[in-house]
Chains A and B, each alone.
Chain A
């Protein structure tokens, strides 16, 4: 085990996979000499050269499409997005092409492709550099979607993503890059997709949280504990596939669930999770599943306003009490 920052854990896994598999390469904006705005590709170009750590023009659709062609023909590209907000520029290539080609070609094409980058609040970047994009990629069938909330998960999930033969949207969080924890040194350390992590045990209410919200949920759980409410905190880790079983098992015990994500609440992944819980676990529920997510407005620049839009510890705390009828 080595203590690593989330960003370093990602960088190290990319390096390890590139060493062991020559078909893995990275493309993206400002990833070479700079090593990425957040350091996730730092020094990789020094080791692997400009061919395999390839700075692209600012042409997201162009390099995603190029990555698709490479993936179709035997390569395993990692497409680096400086900000995942920019996926919208490449949406046709991502959702009409990468997501669909295998299916439309009757299974006669394979796309081992990782699209990775960071999203979310925390840097005062306003509406086009602070949003959360996961819902788009869980809606159109074809992508797998991972959202690590810790350094170790980032490492284990990214290795699984790179070794997966499907397009994977790998969603990191800018505010988590500096967080650190012990990460296994095993160059084959991988966390399978579709296995949620129970971050905290509790018997009274289940809080399902993704990415940055996992930490906030754990904070809220500590506060709730002081009031006699023991919250179980579940981090799905991948949204597609989604580990409904672990969530249901928890809700069978607690009878109550709060789903919290940073993305907009309206038509968000939380709605999907809440519905799946309701469809499969209706009888377990003592209260309606409550969703927490960003308010339905563009992420504002002002820190005060940003905090007003995205769920905070207090919001999670309140929602948990609400479903406990307290």
Chain B
């Protein structure tokens, strides 16, 4: 990973982290409503994928999708406005936290049905294949989705048609409150790739360089017309499934243990060791991102609510093809 990409990944991770910390704060202050699923602790997966995808490449995302959106280029202010259901948000307040999409930027959308978005990445990849472009599609999903039928149907189709798609399973150890090993037939979800005749790789999802290696390989394979790859990124969500989760299903020790593997801290240490960034520069980056997120908050809070008179807009596309 070159220095510039390292800095990009670092800033993306920091932006995701601070965006979500802000979202949590606003939720606790009752300034935003609905389900807000945080990916704090998992930032490396989204940030690395985002760094290696081009604008024209596609992603599909999940209910825990703020990180994917930001990594694919979403602006924190418009994303925060969507979390607050404002007119200026990515979906004009129609979708909220779980449905941020920016189709023009290749983000085909977060999806609140577990596994619901996986085949859409397949379709985007098929579209690229039919149109003869070198675009690739990435589907992010969780360990829970790997037990949905649609996951299996999609991988099978991607394999037989050799679609330029990369399936990235963020195994954060819990499907809501259920530990992955208690509901999954295999220890590593990546081994399921074998059933669909595609490479399956287990990666330390909190290690940006391990992610880099796996993602680059998968992109190359997709662009070479060899078909899909399944990457299982082992990671951990520090926060509950939702804001207010009593977290009865895990111990504090376990959470603290994973916090020592913080992907951001690890990269900061690496950058200091390799003299990429000094401590002062790291602090300055924090200050810069803090400001960005404060501005996002300010933008969202000062944005208008959607006009109820427009509630029926966009049920259908109006007008001719």
Contact = CB atoms under 8 A, between A and B. Distances in A.
A109 interface: yes
B317 A165 contact: yes
Contacts of B91: 104-106, 108
B35 interface: no
Interface residues of B, number: 50
Nearest to A76: B321
Interface string B86-119: 0001111111000101111000110101001011
Contact of B150 (A25, A57, A61, A67): A61
B125 interface: yes
Q: Determine the interface band of chain A, counting residues with CB < 8 A from chain B.
A: 35 or more
Nearest to B118: A65
Contacts of B121: 69
A69 B108 contact: yes
Interface stretch (A94-102, A212-220, A315-323): A94-102
B92 A106 contact: yes
A275 interface: no
Contacts of A164: 317, 321
B99 A66 contact: no
B62 to A, nearest CB: 13
A52 interface: yes
A96 B111 CA distance: 10
Contacts of A63: 119, 153, 157
B206 interface: no
B127 interface: yes
Interface of B: 58, 60, 89-95, 99, 101-104, 108-109, 111, 113, 116, 118-131, 137, 149-150, 153-154, 156-157, 160-161, 313-317, 319-321
Interface of A: 25, 51-52, 54, 56-57, 59, 61-75, 77, 92-93, 96-97, 101-112, 141-142, 144, 163-166
28 contacts: A56-B157, A57-B157, A61-B153, A62-B153, A65-B150, A66-B122, A66-B154, A68-B123, A71-B123, A74-B131, A92-B113, A92-B116, A92-B150, A93-B119, A96-B113, A102-B316, A104-B94, A104-B95, A106-B90, A106-B92, A107-B313, A108-B101, A108-B103, A110-B317, A141-B315, A164-B321, A165-B317, A165-B319
